[in-house]
Copies of this chain bind each other. A is one copy, B any other.
Amino acid sequence: MGKQMTEMLKGTLEGIVLALLTGNPAYGYEITTLLRAQGFPDIAEGTVYALLVRIEQKGLVDVEKRPSEKGPPRKVYTLNAQGTKELDEFWNTWSFLSERLEELRKGGK
């Protein structure tokens, strides 16, 4: 992955994952493949798992262990109320930054 993208993902990747989880519980491996399919082909597995540990510790998701047909049991993450609130704040922060940057791009000094 480009160094720029790596740095830019800091702070946004968490939001991206929370957004993926809205109304759509998922487990780590699934989230990784989802991200890779949706334009982030180089996302490292370890990054996703570490992120999931973080958002679980922050209490943004509920976790449930479910057996898998193939391999070890899955940890399914579901966005809870606090996670939804965090996601809202994420979109606010993103919108603000996004607007600033669009102004800058238009030469709005």
Contact B7 A11 (CB under 8 A): yes
Could you say how many copies of this chain the assembly holds? 2
Q: How far is the CA of A101 from the CA of B8 in the complex (A)?
A: 12
Chain B residue contacts of A22, Cβ below 8 A: 107
Q: Which residues of B contact A89 (CB under 8 A)?
A: 2, 4
Size bin of chain A's contact surface: 35 or more
Known: A7-B10, A8-B94, A12-B8. A39 touches B109 (CB 8 A): no
Do B97 and A101 touch across chains, with their CB atoms under 8 A apart?
Answer: no
Q: Which residues of A contact B (CB under 8 A)?
A: 2, 4-12, 14-16, 19-20, 22, 24, 34, 38-40, 89-91, 93-94, 96-98, 100-101, 104-105, 107, 109
